[in-house]
């Protein structure tokens, strides 16, 4: 059974000028030990999806439809108090900026011990021992000494390790990592990716890795979901999506990423930009930028169709008949 199963998730933001639907009918699942990458441009709704799972949507945004199952339990509409028990105990969250997700006024030891004691019935001494084990786990040198240090005494990469240790406090079965390496340098980014991969392999943690960086996805994820304008555009195994993208958006996206040693005078690119939520076109949200758009693409939204092998699916009318348009 999948650890996390989302079906038909819809998120809306009521505004003065009408309701903005930020995420529409999103379905995906993550197995134990699997890293699912969520990739998309800013504003595509990838972070919202992560936030909805842990019940941290900023009002007025709210879930208007769909079900989120964690180990079979429906967590879509839990009260704040119930959600608090799930979050931390079963779901660990890693945010983009490690400095803002740590409290500057408490030592990292205090923060770890507090989190552990909130969710686990452990004595202070045991909690401290566990905290130090976690710091070792995430690769912080001399953890006994660093235990009493404040967040500002750590470098960016070390802080992100502390945040990961915090997320791991109570052996969660699911980790939501929202752009965990975006604020870090490449050399540190590689260290953090290696750490996330090791946790998934060794502890069987299901990981949702939200990022805009295809390189990070290629390196870390097992499967990847491509989101465009709040809708799932394509989902499949990471190698097949990257090597043989099926949705025209994914194709354009992959082509526009500069690669070392390519030596092109100009980069291929997708004309235009992702539509704003208040002016999303009818039918497929990508149709104004799509070379292959036909009449049906402008009228009706496409469902997910099997495209290619290994369960690769794309939300594109091109694959409605099973074959690509000639």
Partner 1 sequence: MPDDIILDVKGLKMYFDVSAPLISRMIRRTSKQMLKAVDGLNFSIRRGETFSLVGESGCGKSTVARAVAGLYTITDGDIVVEGENLSKIRDKTKIAAISKRVQMIFQSPYASLDPRWRVRDIIAEPIRAFHLAKDKADERQQVDTLLRQVGLSPSDGEKYPHEFSGGQRQRISIARALSSRPEFLICDEPTSALDVSVQAQILNLMTELQDDLGLTYLFISHDLAVIDHISDWIGVMYLGRICEITPQPELFKNPLHPYTRLLLATIPDLSGETTHVPLEGEVPNPINPPTGCTFHPRCPYANERCKRERPELRRIGPSEVACHAIEEGRI
Which residues form the interface with partner 1 (CB under 8 A)? Answer: 41-42, 155-158, 185-191, 193-194, 212-216, 218-220, 238-239, 242, 252-254, 256-271, 273-274
Compare residues 142 and 194 and give the one whose CB is closer to partner 1: 194
Reference 139, options 157, 161, 156; nearest CA is 161
Question: Tell me, what DSSP letter sits at residue 11?
Answer: E
Say whether 33 sits in a helix, a strand or coil.
Answer: coil
Question: CB 259 → partner 1: shortest distance, Å?
Answer: 6
Could you give the CA distance from residue 262 to residue 114 in angstroms, rounded to a whole number?
A: 50
Q: Find all residues with CB under 8 Å of 236, minimum gap 6, and list them.
A: 223, 224, 246, 308, 310, 311, 312, 313
Q: Which residue, 9 or 193, is less far from partner 1 as judged by CB?
A: 193
Q: Quick one: tokens of 74? A: 């429906």
Q: Minimum Å distance from CB 83 to partner 1?
A: 31
Backbone dihedral region of 72: left (phi > 0), alpha (psi from -120 to 50 degrees) or beta? left
Q: Tokens 């939204």: give the residue.
A: 301
In the complex, least distance from residue 193 CB atom to partner 1, rounded to whole angstroms: 7
Please report how close the Cβ of residue 166 comes to partner 1 at its closest, in angstroms: 20
Q: How far is the CB of 175 from partner 1 (least distance, A)?
A: 19
Q: How far is the CB of 255 from partner 1 (least distance, A)?
A: 8
Please state the length of the chain.
Answer: 326
Q: Which is nearer to partner 1, 125 or 260 (CB)?
A: 260
60 preceded by cis ω (within 30°)?
Answer: yes
Minimum distance between the CB of residue 256 and partner 1, rounded to whole angstroms? 4
Residue 23 or 63 with smaller CB distance to partner 1: 23
For partner 1, the closer of residues 86 and 135 by Cβ is 135
| 3-state secondary structure at position 201 | helix
Burial degree of 290 (CB within 10 A; 0-12, 13-18, 19+)? buried
C-beta of 4 vs 39, nearer to partner 1 = 39
The residue among 70 and 196 lying less far from partner 1, judged by its C-beta, is 196
Q: Note the helical H segments in 169-289.
A: 186-203, 214-220, 238-243, 248-256
What are phi and psi for residue 28, nearest 5 degrees? -165, 165
């Amino acid at each position: 059974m999948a650890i996390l199963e989302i079906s038909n998730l819809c998120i809306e933001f009521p505004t003065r000028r009408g309701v903005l639907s930020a995420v529409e009918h999103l379905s995906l699942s993550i197995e134990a030990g699997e890293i699912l990458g969520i990739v998309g441009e800013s504003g595509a709704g990838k972070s919202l999806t992560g936030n909805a799972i842990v019940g941290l949507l900023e009002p007025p945004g709210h879930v208007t439809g769909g079900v989120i199952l964690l180990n079979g339990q429906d967590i879509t509409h839990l009260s704040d108090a119930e959600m608090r028990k799930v979050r931390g105990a079963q779901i660990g969250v890693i945010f983009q900026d490690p400095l803002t997700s740590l409290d500057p006024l408490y030592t990292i030891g205090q923060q770890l011990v507090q989190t552990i004691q909130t969710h686990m019935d452990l004595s202070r001494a045991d909690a401290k021992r566990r905290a130090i084990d976690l710091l070792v786990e995430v690769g912080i040198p001399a953890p006994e000494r660093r235990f009493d240090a404040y967040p500002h005494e750590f470098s960016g990469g070390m802080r992100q390790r502390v945040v990961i240790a915090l997320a791991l406090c109570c052996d969660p079965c699911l980790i939501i990592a929202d752009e965990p390496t975006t604020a870090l340098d490449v050399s540190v980014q590689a260290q953090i990716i290696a750490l996330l991969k090791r946790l998934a392999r060794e502890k069987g943690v299901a990981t949702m890795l939200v990022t805009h960086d295809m390189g990070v996805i290629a390196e870390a994820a097992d499967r990847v979901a491509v989101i465009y304008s709040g809708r799932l555009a394509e989902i499949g195994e990471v190698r097949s999506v990257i090597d043989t993208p099926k949705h025209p958006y994914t194709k354009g996206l992959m082509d526009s990423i500069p690669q070392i040693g390519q030596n092109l005078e100009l980069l291929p690119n997708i004309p235009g930009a992702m539509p704003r939520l208040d002016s999303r076109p009818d039918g497929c949200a990508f149709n104004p930028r799509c070379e292959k758009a036909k009449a049906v693409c402008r009228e009706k939204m496409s469902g997910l169709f099997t495209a290619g092998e290994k369960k690769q699916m794309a939300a594109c009318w091109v694959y409605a008949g099973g074959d690509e348009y000639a």
